[in-house]
Amino acid sequence: MEKIIQLKNYQTLATEKIDAELQSFTGGRKEKCISSHAAAQVTHFCEESPAFAEVVYKTKRTLSDCCAEVVKDAKEYISDIDVYRGIVRAYFPNADIKFLMNIEINGDAPSEEEMAKAPEKICVAHKVEGQLLLRYTDVERTIYPDRKKPDYTFSDAFYTLFLTENGRQKEYAYAWCQAPYQGYDWRRLPNGTKKLNPTFVYTPNLREVFGEKYYHVDLQVALAGLRRPVPFRRLLDNLKNIPQAEYLVKAGLPILASSVLPDCRAKSLLELTGLGKEYLPAMRESQASFQEIRVVARQNNPRPEELRQLCALRLDGESLRLLEATAQYNTLGRTLAYVQAQWQQAPWQLRRRKLPYFLTLYRDYLNMADALQSDMEKRAILEPRDLKERHDLLSARIAGQKDELENRRFQRAVDSGLYGWAKPYAKEGFCVAYPESRSDFITEGQKLNHCVGAKMYYENHIFGRNMVFFIRKTEAPEKPYFTAEIEMVTGRVRQLYGFGDCSAPKEVRAFTEGFARAAVRWKSTGTQRAAG
């Protein structure tokens, strides 16, 4: 029994070979970046397949050769799937490689709110050997149907280090981001990079890190109970550099203190926010931002309750800007109630859109109604039964008015001699049509699905610089075929396109170039005759 030799299987032998080759690895920068990951994957494949392990052990190819095959066609980045594919091809060049994904659905589907919710971000301050570290981490909560408590996943995403070197404080920033070629890694960012994104702040250790007072403010007390994220780094900078920040924190308004302060010379709450001290309780309770306060301040006779209602909705910045734009026409409460009702009663295709879409419709509708001199005091004008229908109707009316004005302008250009030189031109089955109005440009662009309807082409045409002409077939002179833009000084055909910007056949191009030479000759002769 003592002379029995324990034989190793190929899986063990292949694993030992890969470990040895990783220790003696040779290769370029790309190959070294993926060497550890590739070694782990080769080992995993060997454990899964004895046949794969036998080939890895017996082949003369090394891990260095395998990594060279993986990054052969890679540029700056490479996906995990490409790494797997390259590993297999390094050992089995003729293999057919397919990937199979198995999806097992457990429990009920999450709600729309849960689906739309991104991982929360938390800033945690640390003090190690007198040095300050701000650690930003993403927190994701996972709820399982068969468990009472959710799981929490913490993933560090950003570090800011304040290090004292030779009596001077230096700041370093590191971000967790995609590494060149494969995977993720920590990357040092340029000096001065600051994390100013709003995050929640871990408060229990703030006194331990910053002391009882940080520029006359107890941060642990000031931020306790905060229900909204704040740009913590900006708050620290503001407390250090701007006296109004200390005033706002002590007034119970840390959200405002951590913002970009609109006026650093302001000496009162009214000057800072546009609202007086009677709104201070509502500001504290709702933890209002400057943008929310500005929306309320734009109202006629604003009430503190309106600020509470607005902050409870937690609208994004775009929605708040749109609400601010409607303030001159309707009250905040009625605007919100009306727009939300329009959202709920809209067809399902529109209901999938978010609130900013309907606020944009409402703002544009009010601006158009005002431009058409509608009676903005009437409720039927301010709040039409079908917002989308009325919006589209007014949009068409305004577009019609603009087209009418431009058509008159075009006619004045024609009367002033825009086409004084022009003559009919037809040859070899083709003819030229001259635009007669601004609407002709738009119609041509719509029917041929190209951009001649853009204002630039129309403006150049009426000034006689680069003029647009419609190329037609003589058998169908009303049907758009090709559109030409011609430089009227040299006769060069700048553009000649048909439907969807397709290129013109040789015969169409030859016809157009002949017309361009004739047009320049006619125009030159007409100019000389007028000068004579």
- Residues 282 and 374 grouped into a single domain: no
- Residues 288 and 382 grouped into a single domain: no
Asked if residues 122 and 201 have their Cβ atoms less than 8 Å apart, the reply is: yes
Does 91 or 102 have the greater pLDDT score?
91
Asked if residues 190 and 85 have their Cβ atoms less than 8 Å apart, the reply is: no
Percent of the chain with pLDDT over 70: 92
Q: How far apart are CA 184 and CA 254, in angstroms?
A: 35
Query: Could you tell me the pLDDT band of residue 193, with boundaries at 50, 70 and 90?
Result: confident
For strand 120-128 and strand 168-178, is the pairing parallel, antiparallel, or unpaired? Answer: unpaired
- 480-531 confidence digits (pLDDT tens): 999 999 999 999 999 999 998 899 999 999 999 999 999 999 988 864 444 3
Task: Decide if pLDDT at 104 tops 70.
Answer: no
pLDDT of residue 3: 46
State the DSSP code for 99.
-
Mean pLDDT, range 278-307, rounded to an integer: 91
- Residues 117 and 140 grouped into a single domain: yes
Asked if residues 495 and 485 have their Cβ atoms less than 8 Å apart, the reply is: yes
- 354-377 confidence digits (pLDDT tens): 888 899 999 999 999 898 888 888
For strand 120-128 and strand 200-201, is the pairing parallel, antiparallel, or unpaired? Answer: parallel
- Residues 342 and 305 grouped into a single domain: no
- Residues 429 and 515 grouped into a single domain: yes
Distance spanning both ends of the chain, measured CA to CA: 124
| Domain contains 158 | yes
Query: Could you tell me the pLDDT band of residue 143, with boundaries at 50, 70 and 90?
Result: confident
Find where tokens 């699905």 sit: 449
- Residues 337 and 306 grouped into a single domain: no
Q: Domain total for the chain?
A: 5
- Residues 425 and 489 grouped into a single domain: yes
Does 399 or 331 have the greater pLDDT score?
331
Q: Which residues, at least 6 apart from 109, have a Cβ–Cβ distance to it below 8 Å?
A: none
| Domain contains 245 | no
Q: Which two tokens stand for residue 373?
A: 């001199």
Asked if residues 390 and 384 have their Cβ atoms less than 8 Å apart, the reply is: yes
Nearest to 463 by CA among 526, 401, 418, 530: 418
Task: Decide if pLDDT at 114 tops 80.
Answer: no
| Domain contains 180 | yes
Asked if residues 403 and 439 have their Cβ atoms less than 8 Å apart, the reply is: yes
Domain stops at, among 408, 433, 465? 408
Q: Which amino acid is at 53?
A: A
pLDDT of residue 110: 54
| Domain contains 324 | no
| Domain contains 399 | yes
Task: Decide if pLDDT at 116 tops 70.
Answer: no
- Residues 285 and 360 grouped into a single domain: no
- Residues 391 and 441 grouped into a single domain: no
- Residues 426 and 402 grouped into a single domain: no
| Domain contains 223 | yes
Q: What is the pTM of this model?
A: 0.59
State the DSSP code for 501.
G
Domain that holds residue 389: 332-408
- Residues 400 and 478 grouped into a single domain: no
- Residues 379 and 460 grouped into a single domain: no
Q: How far apart are CA 203 and CA 212, in angstroms?
A: 13
